[in-house]
């Protein structure tokens, strides 16, 4: 922490119940033994009675003492303390614990450095510092949270287990920190737990919402384990066992997904019964007639308290289920992480936890009977949404969505949905369907991650409201508003402005909502970073979480098949009647207004004078998606070719779109590929996907300068780059690519290596990695808030500041400037009061 760096106020909450002596020792250490000054001490007395309150108040007068009229347990006491806290960070410390000097400062440094960390789990040793109390967290499939290595001499615990920071499922309530705003967002500890496992439940819920809980060995505390509990109760009463058993079931019921719960809960209930009978040594066969008929006995059977505790815990869990069901609905709606995501944090989910022979036998039976080894390994559900038609004839957006779905389907359960009514897809290893906006709620409900492109977010309003926390990936490889600048030239000026504003609004909504973005090139990445910054999305919280921003915005270019093209039928020569010796250059894609096919036609008019066997083929003039309007540039291109006498002699227009699965046959019939465009802003950030087809088929590339692929062609020597709107230079480039065999062979050789970099599995790697561990963006985590704020100016400082401002305004512009500034301030204050009212 640098000099003058503001320190967050940390409110440390200590709950007292008939333990005044320990509590006073703890509070005094907090008051004098820390290297962090900005601490608020809060002590909650849980209706101890006698003289505890008076003793604590007299011994530690600086503490904020909160008296609860009833004993609400550790969970309720902590929540009551949090309601009285003013800090942006809450520290929880058991009254029978003492902090090391860096307990607070280390935790605060971690929270400030890691905006996605909601809670810091302190390292906790025994009172002497020789034994491990909390150095890691674990959770069994039946809901029992436990402290791994607890009770072991710390010298015997592997150093990697206790000396290194790591993510954990939960921290121990005996010494931990939570961001105040996040604690409030989750409603604090669940007071139904009273004590035990309320910390497990809180950490579990934090992780489900995408937050991280971080074990930090530098934040150290020492704990006299069960110091308070042993003073008010004894293990033989069964009360502790009752709470542990009941609360484990409650945590399981609230937080497991529906699929996992269906397997785990029946087995957990059965195992709880066996645990109870095994713990108490109860004879399970004493009422079994099959074991023999003896004298009629109707006397009560003695049931040990340890057995009774387990049975009563199940009974009270059932009683809690109606209220737990409401909480479960909240947790399941808010979760963004799957059970499989959290499996590594469970450490050993199949750990039996109790070394009792009868119990271990039942554990083995239930694990096998309910298939629990695979019960936490459900595949993630990923929804891919596109607005393009999914048919045999697919255009760029559909091709991209299709390959995203295909690649992710290797690891996840994928559903590809288009909002376009045209759906007749090729065979696929994933679900494909279509639906209008009213049909999207069901697949969105189903999904863990939603990947969308184009205008789809506007058709799925639930992603902005009911599913505002669901993880969304926005594919912004197509800067639609830049295309519209060129595409809308033929529209009335006012409508053109409205259209542009509408498309920009659509993109803005995506940029504000999504957790992860895909763009097609480094040029686009710079463009979208600027857009995100202008929208205020590049906040300090996002920057602090990842200064590189690669975890927010990744380059995922359009890809190509990893398999080389193989001919499966006739291609363009047969379809258009071209000879085997004709030299063919291919325009592989649609003709849109941001392209420049007119210069290409004029160049071919020059080329045919020297090369009578040169042919230019336009792969598809009619877009397969009927919602894409026809553009005038296509008709102008045909008219120009007609007027020059080129049509069906040197220039050929394929009116229908070539089926996606047949395009390789057309590509393999060509000798070179071409793309030409104008010099404008759309070109600067465009990613011409047709060029990838040229790479896939090994075709030398002729391209106009100005876009990212032109840079690639020039740098890797894959063809010829020409200036915009220069027919002579373009004709020369086409001639070189078609007829200079040595040059063309060199291009083809170099293209082979470059093409491998653009294969779909390689191109989609950032998305694949994100989907393996998807998390909300740091600024979209629920309960995010500033840890440090600027203190309000009051009293003499306020007067001094205002006097200085008056002088400044008078110097800058005299009385008129002063009047203007004062008027503006009055309006601002009035608006603030109206908002508060």
Alpha-carbon 345 to chain mean position = 17
Secondary structure of residue 451 in the 3-state scheme? strand
Average pLDDT score over the chain: 91
Compute the distance between CA of residue 116 and CA of residue 136 in angstroms, rounded to an integer.
Answer: 19
Bigger pLDDT: 232 vs 111: 111
Q: How far is the C-alpha of 15 from the C-alpha of 23, rounded, in Å? A: 8
- Which residues neighbour 402 within 8 Å (Cβ) at sequence distance 6 or greater? 390, 394, 416, 425, 428
Looking at 129-143, 291-305, 352-366, 524-538, which range is the least confident one? 291-305
Listing DSSP states for 638-699 in one string gives HHHHHHTT-BTTTEEE--SPPPGGGHHHHHTT-SEEEE-B-SSHHHHH---THHHHHHHHT-
Question: At residue 141, does pLDDT exceed 90?
Answer: yes
- Residue 331 in contact with residue 257, Cβ under 8 Å? no
**Residue 706 vs residue 672, higher pLDDT:** 672
Of the pLDDT bands very low, low, confident and very high (cuts 50, 70, 90), residue 228 is: low
CB atoms within 10 A of CB 628: 15
pLDDT at residue 1 in the model: 45
16, β-bridge pairs: 45
| Section 204-213 average pLDDT | 97
**Segment 471-481, tens digit of pLDDT:** 999 999 988 89
The reported pTM is: 0.84
pLDDT value of position 827: 56
Q: What pLDDT does residue 482 have? A: 87
pLDDT confidence of residue 131: 96
Residue 819 has pLDDT above 70, yes or no: yes
Instruction: Calculate what percentage of the chain has a pLDDT beyond 70.
Output: 95
Instruction: Please state whether beta strands 166-168 and 212-223 pair in parallel, antiparallel, or not at all (unpaired).
Output: antiparallel
Lowest mean pLDDT among 706-710, 718-722, 762-766: 706-710
Whether residue 825 is predicted with pLDDT greater than 80 in this model: the reply is no
pLDDT in tens, 492-539: 999 999 999 999 999 999 999 999 999 999 999 999 999 999 999 999
Summarize pLDDT for 178-192 with one digit per residue, the tens. Answer: 999 999 999 999 999
The answer, yes or no, to whether residue 625 has pLDDT greater than 60, is: no
Average the pLDDT over 425-452 and give the result.
Answer: 92
Mean pLDDT within 198-220 = 98
pLDDT at 294 over 90: no
Alpha helices by DSSP H, listed for 741-783, are: 741-757, 760-763, 765-772
CA 422 to chain centre: 31
Q: Residue 361 contacts by C-beta under 8 Å, 6 or more apart in sequence?
A: none
Assign residue 62 a region (left: φ > 0; alpha: ψ between -120 and 50; beta: otherwise).
Answer: alpha
Alpha-carbon gap, residue 618 to 14, rounded angstroms: 76
Q: Please check the confidence at residue 152 and state whether its pLDDT lies above 90.
A: yes
Whether 377 has a pLDDT exceeding 70, the answer reads: no
Question: How many CA atoms are closer than 13 Å to the CA of 453, on its beta-carbon side?
Answer: 27
Q: Is the pLDDT of residue 831 over 70?
A: no
Q: How confident is the model at residue 630 (pLDDT cuts 50, 70, 90)?
A: low
Confidence band, pLDDT 50/70/90 cuts, at residue 833: low
Q: State the average pLDDT over residues 196-225.
A: 96
- pLDDT tens per residue, range 48-58: 988 999 999 99
Q: Say whether pLDDT at 98 is over 90.
A: yes
> Please, which pLDDT band fits residue 488 given cuts at 50, 70 and 90?
confident
Residues contacting 161, CB < 8 A, separation 6+: 135, 136, 148, 149
User: What local confidence, expressed as pLDDT, does residue 454 receive?
Assistant: 87
The answer to whether the CB of 415 falls within 8 A of the CB of 446 is yes
Question: What sign for the dihedral angle of Cα 267, 269, 273, 278?
Answer: positive
Q: Kindly report, residue by residue over 556-586, the tens digit of the pLDDT.
A: 998 888 888 999 999 999 999 999 999 999 9
Are 764 and 558 spatial neighbours (Cβ–Cβ below 8 Å)?
no
pLDDT at 685: 80
The two beta strands, 39-45 and 10-16, are parallel
User: Which residue has better confidence, 530 or 624?
Assistant: 530
* The three-state (H, E, C) secondary structure of 268-337, written as one string: HHHHHHHHHHHHHCCCCCCCCHHHCCCCCCCCCCCCCHHHHHHHHHHHHHHHHHHHHHHHHHHHHHHCCC
CB 588 within 8 A of CB 744: no
Structure confidence by residue, pLDDT tens digits, 749-767: 999 889 988 899 999 999 9
Poorest-confidence range of 215-229, 238-252, 316-330, 639-653?
A: 215-229
When pLDDT is cut at 50, 70 and 90, the band that residue 233 belongs to is low
Q: Distance (Å, rounded) from C-alpha 499 to C-alpha 631?
A: 16
pLDDT of residue 99: 98
Please say whether the beta carbons of 455 and 387 come within 8 A: yes
Measure the CA–CA gap between 103 and 177, rounded to whole angstroms: 10
Please report the pLDDT score of residue 173 as a whole number: 96
């Amino acid at each position: 922490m640098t000099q003058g760096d503001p320190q967050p106020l940390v409110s440390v909450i200590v709950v007292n119940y008939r333990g005044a002596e320990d509590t006073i020792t703890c509070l005094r250490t907090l008051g004098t033994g820390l290297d962090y000054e900005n601490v608020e001490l809060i002590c909650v007395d849980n209706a101890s009675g006698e003289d505890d309150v008076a003793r604590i108040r007299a011994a530690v007068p600086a503490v904020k003492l909160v008296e609860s009229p009833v004993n609400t347990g550790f969970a309720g006491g902590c929540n009551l303390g949090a309601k009285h806290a003013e800090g942006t960070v809450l520290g929880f410390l058991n009254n029978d614990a003492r902090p090391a000097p860096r307990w607070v400062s280390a935790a605060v440094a971690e929270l400030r450095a890691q905006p996605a960390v909601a809670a810091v789990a302190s390292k906790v040793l025994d009172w002497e510092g020789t034994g491990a109390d909390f150095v890691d967290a674990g959770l069994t499939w039946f809901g029992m949270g436990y402290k791994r290595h607890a009770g072991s001499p710390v010298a015997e615990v592997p150093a990697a287990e206790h000396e290194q920071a790591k993510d954990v499922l939960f921290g121990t309530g005996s010494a931990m920190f939570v961001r105040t705003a996040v604690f409030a967002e989750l409603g604090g500890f669940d007071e139904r737990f009273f004590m035990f496992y309320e910390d497990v439940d809180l950490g579990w819920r934090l992780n489900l919402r995408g937050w991280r809980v971080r074990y930090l060995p530098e934040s150290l505390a020492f704990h006299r384990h069960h110091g308070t509990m042993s003073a008010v109760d004894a293990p033989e009463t069964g009360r502790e066992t009752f709470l542990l058993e009941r609360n484990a079931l409650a945590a399981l019921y609230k937080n497991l997904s529906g699929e996992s719960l269906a397997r785990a809960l029946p087995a957990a209930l059965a195992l709880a019964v066996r645990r109870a009978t095994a713990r108490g040594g109860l004879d399970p066969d004493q009422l079994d007639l099959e074991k023999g008929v003896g004298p009629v006995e109707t006397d009560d059977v003695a049931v040990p308290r340890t057995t009774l505790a387990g049975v009563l815990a199940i009974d009270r869990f059932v009683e809690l289920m109606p209220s737990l069901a409401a909480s479960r609905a909240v947790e399941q709606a808010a979760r963004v992480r799957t059970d499989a995501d959290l499996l590594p944090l469970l450490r050993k989910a199949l750990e039996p936890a109790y070394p009792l022979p009868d119990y271990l036998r039942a554990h083995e039976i239930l694990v096998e009977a309910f298939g629990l080894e695979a019960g936490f390994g459900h595949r993630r559900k990923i929804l891919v949404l596109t607005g393009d038609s999914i048919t045999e004839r697919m255009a760029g957006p559909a091709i991209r969505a299709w390959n995203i779905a295909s690649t992710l389907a290797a690891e996840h359960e994928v559903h590809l949905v288009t909002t376009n009514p045209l759906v007749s897809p090729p065979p696929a290893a994933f679900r494909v369907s279509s639906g209008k906006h009213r049909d999207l709620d069901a697949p969105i409900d189903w999904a863990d991650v939603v990947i969308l492109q184009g205008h789809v977010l506007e058709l799925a309003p639930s992603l902005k409201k009911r599913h505002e926390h669901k993880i969304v990936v926005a594919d912004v490889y197509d800067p639609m508003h830049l295309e519209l600048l060129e595409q809308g030239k033929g529209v009335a000026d006012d409508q053109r402005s409205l259209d542009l504003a509408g498309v920009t609004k659509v993109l803005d909504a995506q940029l504000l909502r999504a957790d992860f973005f895909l763009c097609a090139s480094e040029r686009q990445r710079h463009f979208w970073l600027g857009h995100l910054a202008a929208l205020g999305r590049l906040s300090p919280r996002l920057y602090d979480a990842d200064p590189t921003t690669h975890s927010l915005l990744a380059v995922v270019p359009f890809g190509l098949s990893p398999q080389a093209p193989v001919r499966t039928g006739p291609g363009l020569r047969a379809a258009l009647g071209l000879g085997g010796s004709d030299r063919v250059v291919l325009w592989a894609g649609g003709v849109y207004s941001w392209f420049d096919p007119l210069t290409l036609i004029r160049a071919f008019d020059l080329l045919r004078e020297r090369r009578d066997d040169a042919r230019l083929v336009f792969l598809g003039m009619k877009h397969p998606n009927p919602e894409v309007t026809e553009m005038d540039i296509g008709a102008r291109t045909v008219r120009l070719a007609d007027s020059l006498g080129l049509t069906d002699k040197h220039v050929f227009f394929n009116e229908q779109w070539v089926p996606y699965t047949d395009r390789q046959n057309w590509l393999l019939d060509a000798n070179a590929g071409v793309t030409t465009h104008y010099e404008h802003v759309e070109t600067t950030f465009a990613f011409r996907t047709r060029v990838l087809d040229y790479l896939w088929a090994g075709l030398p590339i002729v391209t106009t300068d100005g876009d990212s692929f032109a840079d690639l062609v020039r740098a890797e020597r894959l063809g010829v780059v020409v200036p915009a709107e220069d027919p002579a230079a373009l004709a020369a480039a086409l001639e070189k690519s078609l007829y200079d065999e040595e040059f063309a062979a060199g291009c083809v050789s170099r293209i082979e290596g470059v093409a491998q970099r653009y294969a779909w599995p390689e191109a989609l790697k950032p998305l694949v990695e994100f989907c393996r561990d998807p998390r909300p963006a740091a600024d979209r985590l629920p309960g995010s808030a500033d840890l440090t704020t600027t203190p309000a100016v009051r009293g003499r400082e306020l007067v001094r500041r205002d006097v200085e401002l008056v002088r400044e305004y008078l110097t800058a512009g005299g009385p008129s400037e002063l009047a203007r500034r004062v008027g503006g301030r009055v309006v601002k204050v009035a608006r603030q009061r109206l908002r508060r009212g």
